[in-house]
Amino acid sequence: MSCAPGQPCEEGLKRRRALAALGLMAAIFLGLSAASFVDSRGQVVPTEVHYGDQDAVAGKRVFQAYNCMGCHTIVGNGAYFGPDLTKTYNAVGPAWLEAFLPSAGAWPAGGAVRLQLQNAAVAEDAGTDDLDSYLEKYPGAAERVSRRGGQSTHMPNLPLTRAEVGQLIAFLKYTSEMDTEGWPPKPKVNGLEFAKESRLQGASPVAAATATAAAATVAESPVARGAELVADNGCTACHSTGTDQLVGPGWGGLYGSDVRIAGGSTVVADEAYLTEKIEQPDAKVVAGFEAGVMPSYADMLDADQVSDIVAFLKSLGGK
């Protein structure tokens, strides 16, 4: 465009300003492009985060394979049916996740978390092997145990292997270490009050059946004491009191029945067998189930407690 005769001409100045702005934007674009090739930019990377011998990269694949984002959000992505998982590891710690993930159909009780802390690797990652110290360090675990321990959840039991559980924990550990710049946001609840101390509805069958016995100062019978121990240790997260198969076999009618063992042999589910299964669960693996899934309670329960649990199992029917 040419300038009108007798009028000030600013065409060259405008052109120079436009070229300068274009050059500035090009420089910014090139700078950001170069920065995108820097490995971490000060951010934690998944290849550097491990839980035991498992890494976060494998955990992300497990998270995607089970379509966890179909119910949960993580780092801003996913659905809102379940809670956000971005900072879950920092809230509940590895022992609670070890107790929950293999049998997600029920919330872990304190005994189940204490059992996981007997694993030296879990205790090392958690920074303590004492349950009280653990619950103080991870308030999210304390809240879940006190409000929901032993009760049912809306989450199904997933067929996770031991390796996949460790990989998932490694992935959740990685997302907890990320600088998410404030995600997930904290909801504003000004003027609202929540009864955080109240227990949720929908208790598990064993927790409901043993509520009276648990409130008593001293349990009146071995069956009642056994039911209380079962509830406290979260056993019904993996075993039903009926014949339904969860993570492990159902207990209904188990006592005195013929149990088929991996390899083809058969044993009778008498007191000796049930005692051995509690203390040495891999001694006789039931056909159709994997070894290494159920932990040993030999160091968690004394002989009288094991006997009480066996008495409770006998009360659920059988020969």
Q: What is the pLDDT of residues 81-133, one digit of tens each?
A: 999 999 999 999 999 999 999 888 888 888 889 889 988 999 999 999 999 99
In this chain, the answer to whether the domains covering 46-177 and 205-314 adopt an identical fold is: yes
pLDDT, position 6: 65
Task: Identify the CA nearest to 282 among candidates 297, 269, 271.
Answer: 297
Where do we find the tokens 């900072």?
Answer: 87
Indicate the helix (H) or strand (E) that contains 50.
strand 50-51
| Least trusted range by pLDDT, from 19-33, 170-184, 216-230 | 216-230
Q: Which residues pair with 286 in a beta bridge?
A: 261
pLDDT, position 34: 85
* Helix 56-65 with 162-177: angle, nearest 10 deg: 110
Task: Name the more confident of 258 and 218.
Answer: 258
**Domain coordinates in residue numbering, the chain:** 46-177, 205-314
What fold is seen in the domain 46-177?
Cytochrome Bc1 Complex; Chain D, domain 2 (1.10.760)
- Across the chain, mean pLDDT equals 84
52-61, 71-80, 98-107, 295-304 — which one is most confidently predicted on average?
52-61
Q: How far apart are CA 195 and CA 185, in angstroms?
A: 21
Q: How far apart are CA 150 and CA 70, in angstroms?
A: 25
Phi, psi of 85 (to 5 degrees): -110, 5
**Greatest CA separation found in the chain?**
114
Whether pLDDT at 171 is above 90: yes
Whole-number Cα distances in Å, 171 to 36, 57, 158: 23, 7, 17
Q: pLDDT band at residue 205, thresholds of 50, 70 and 90? A: very low
pLDDT, position 188: 67
Whether pLDDT at 217 is above 60: no
Domain 205-314: what homologous superfamily? Cytochrome c-like domain (1.10.760.10)
Whether pLDDT at 14 is above 90: no
Bond prior to 205 in cis (omega within 30° of 0)? no
Q: Dig out the tokens for 10 from the structure.
A: 């600013």
pLDDT, position 218: 46
Q: pLDDT band at residue 193, thresholds of 50, 70 and 90? A: low
Q: How far apart are CA 88 and CA 186, in angstroms?
A: 14
Answer for the pair 293, 247: CB distance below 8 angstroms, yes or no: yes
pLDDT, position 212: 42
Q: How far apart are CA 198 and CA 193, in angstroms?
A: 12
> What pairing do the DSSP bridges indicate for beta strands 54-55 and 73-74?
unpaired
